[in-house]
Structure 1
Amino acid sequence: MEEETVETPEEQLAKQHRKEKKDMQVYSCASFPAKIQSMKNAVPKNDKKKRKQLTEEIAKLEADLSQKHEEEIRQLKSTLNTKVEEVINGVETMMMEGGEQTEVKQQRVTKAQKRRDKKATQEKERESRIAEAEVENLQGVRHQEGLMLAQKLAQQQLQIKEISSDGHCMYRAVEDQLAQRSKPGSVMSVKELRSRTAEHMRSHADDFMPFLTNPDTGDMYTTDEFEKYCSEVEHTAAWGGQLELRALTQVLQLPVEVIQASSSTIKIGEEFDSEPITLVYMRHAYGLGEHYNSVERLKDPANAEDS
C-alpha cells in the first residue's frame, strides 16, 4: 500500500481557494452562506429593484472573496519565508558551534519506491505551479479588469458572453447581439457584416479617410491606401475598431454602446432611437491584448433554486 502524500501549505491553500470559488459560482460559498441565504429569502420574486440590488451585492461578494484569497496567499508566503530563514539560521548555527559531521545511514530504496517518490514530487511541483499561476492571475490586470466589468454589467443585469479571439471578435460580438434580438436565419453573418462595413466606408470615404494615417509618414491615407484598408476590412481577419463600428451603426441603423472597465461607456450612433447593441471592450483579455466580447442577460440568483 502506497504512503499517503502529505500536502504542502501552498497546495492546501490552493485547494481551499478553488473550492471557495466553485462554491461561490453557485452562490453557496462557505464564507458567506448565511448572508447569501438571507439575502435570497428576503427578496420577493416580483421586486425587480431589490433583485437588481441583490445581484450587485453578490458581485461585490465575489470581488471580496478574491481580495480575501490574495491576502491569505500573501500571509502564507510571508510565514513560509520566515520559517525557511529560521531553519537556515539554525543549521548554520549548528555547523558553526558543533563542527562535527553527522553520519547519515543511507537506506536502500527499491525501484518501486523511487517511482512513487518521483510521482509524488512531480504532483507537488504541479500543484505548486497551479498555486503560483492563481496568485499571478489574482494580482494581474486581466483579473482586475474582469472584476470591474462584472460589477459594471451587473448594474444593468448583464454578464459577459465570451467571443472567440480570431481577429473577427468585434464582428462576431455584433453578430451575437443581432442573433439575440432577431428571428433565426435573419441575422447577418460575419462575412456579410464585414462586406457591408467596407461598402459603406468606400461610399462615404470623406467621413473615414481623415481618421486614417500612414504609420510611416503620418500623412492622411491616399485613395489607394484607403481602398487597400477597405479591402482588408472586407476580406481578411483585420481587427475592427471605432471606425468600423461607426460604419456598422449606419449599416444596421442601430446605436452601439461599448462598455469598458476603467473608462466611460462609448456610445456610437445615438441618432438612432433603438435599443443599442452592447459590446464589452477588454484591454487585457488575451496575450495580444485588446478584444471584444458580447453580453447576455445575467442569471437572476433571486430565482435560482436553493442548493
Structure 2
Amino acid sequence: MEEGSVDTAEELQARQHRKERKDLQAKIQGMKNSIPKNDKKRRKQMTEEIAKLEADLNQKHEEELRKLKSTNDTKVEQVINGIETIKVEGSEQEEVKQPRVTKAQKRRDKKAAQEKERESRIAEAEIQNLQGVRHQESLKLAQKLSEQQLQIKEISSDGHCMYRAIEDQLAQRSKPGLTMSVKELRSRTADHMRSCADDFLPFLTNPNTGDMYTTDEFEKYCSEVEHTAAWGGQLELRALTQVLQLPIEVIQADSPAIKIGEEYGSEPIILVYMRHAYGLGEHYNSVERLKDQANVEDS
C-alpha cells in the first residue's frame, strides 16, 4: 500500500475475514489438543462442533460480503444520480466549468478504478466459492476423512493424479518392494490389462459406434495408459489392485466409498475422488493422518 493511502472497505473486510479465520483455526487447534486421542466419542463430537463452527463463519463472511457489495452498488448509483442532477443556483442553468484534470491525476483515477474493480471481483469470487459445489464438496470430504483421523493430501492435476496418489500412498507405507513410480505404475497397469484382456476388454466401447473395442483399439487404449497422461478410472484401479495385491478404497463426497480388491484383505490404499476440484473436472488426491494426530503419535 502506498504511503498516505487509505484502505478500501473491501480491503478492510478481507483483512478482518483473514483474522477471524486465523482465530478460528487457533481455537480449533486448542479444542483438538484438549481431548485425548483415545477418547473417540468426544473427538467425534468435537469434529461435528468444528464443522459447525467453520460453516457458521463461512455463512457470516458470505453475508458480510454480500452486504458490502450491495452498499458499494448503492453508492455508485447515488454518485451517478448526483452528477446528473447538478444545478447551478439562480433562475437560469449555466454550464459548470470543470477544473482541468492533469495526466497524473487521470493515471491515479484509472489505477483507483482498476483496484476497486479488482476488489469487487475478489469479493464476488469469494461469495461464489463459499456457495459453490467445490467448497461444499471439500467440507463433506473433510468431515468423512476426519472420522478416520485423516485429511486430504493434495496431488497435482496433470493427468497422472490417480497414479501419483497411489505412488504417495505406497511411499507412506515404507515397506520394501512396494514403492513404485508413476511411470512404473502405468507400465504395470497396461501390461496387466493386456495379459488379462478378457477381464477388461468387455468394459470398453467405441464412443462413436457403441461397439466393444476391437483388438487394435484395445491395444491403443493400453498404450495410452502406459505412455501418455491419460486419466485413470475404475478399470485401471481394478488392474492396480491385482498388480499390487492390495485393496483400494475411493472416498467420495456424495456417495458411499468405492472398495475394490477387498479379497486381498490388507490395509487399503485410500484415495479421495473429487468431482469438482478443478476447472477440468474430476481429480484424485491422496490422504494422510490429521496433523495433530500425527504429532501426537510421533511424539
Structure-1-length-normalised TM-score: 0.82
Q: 1:46: Cα distance to partner?
A: 4.9
Match of 1:261 in 2: 253
Q: Tell me, what secondary structure is at the counterpart of 1:221?
A: coil
Q: What amino acid is aligned across from residue 93 of structure 2 in structure 1?
A: E
Unaligned ranges ≥5, structure 2:
none
Match of 1:21 in 2: 21
Q: What amino acid is aligned across from residue 274 of structure 1 in structure 2?
A: S
Contact 2:66 2:127 in 1 (8 A): no
Moved more, 102-111 or 14-23: 102-111
Query: What is the total number of aligned residue pairs between the two structures?
Result: 294
Structure-2-length-normalised TM-score: 0.84
Q: What amino acid is aligned across from residue 166 of structure 1 in structure 2?
A: D
Match of 2:220 in 1: 228
Q: Tell me, what secondary structure is at the counterpart of 2:167?
A: helix
Contact 1:45 1:302 in 2 (8 A): no
Contact 2:37 2:293 in 1 (8 A): no
Match of 1:106 among 92, 96, 99: 99
Match of 1:156 in 2: 148
Q: 1:42: Cα distance to partner?
A: 5.0
Moved more, 97-106 or 134-143: 97-106
Moved more, 237-246 or 59-68: 59-68
Change (3 A) 1:104 1:206: same
Q: 1:115: Cα distance to partner?
A: 5.0
Contact 2:160 2:230 in 1 (8 A): yes
Q: What amino acid is aligned across from residue 60 of structure 1 in structure 2?
A: K
Q: What amino acid is aligned across from residue 288 of structure 2 in structure 1?
A: E
Moved more, 141-150 or 240-249: 141-150
Match of 1:289 among 274, 278, 281: 281
Contact 2:165 2:286 in 1 (8 A): yes
Match of 1:180 in 2: 172
Match of 2:132 in 1: 140
**Residues of 1 paired with 2:287 and 2:46: CA distance?**
20
Superposed CA deviations along residues 225-269 of structure 1, whole A, max 9, x for unmatched, are 111111111111111000000111111111111111111211111
What's the RMSD between the two structures over aligned residues?
Answer: 3.1
Q: What amino acid is aligned across from residue 106 of structure 1 in structure 2?
A: P
Contact 1:51 1:302 in 2 (8 A): no
Change (3 A) 1:137 1:222: same
Q: 1:82: Cα distance to partner?
A: 4.2
Change (3 A) 1:121 1:293: same
Q: 1:77: Cα distance to partner?
A: 2.7
Moved more, 76-85 or 142-151: 76-85
**Residues of 2 paired with 1:260 and 1:38: CA distance?**
29
Change (3 A) 1:17 1:198: same
Higher relative contact order (CA 8 A, sep 6+): 1
Contact 2:65 2:123 in 1 (8 A): no
Match of 2:10 in 1: 10
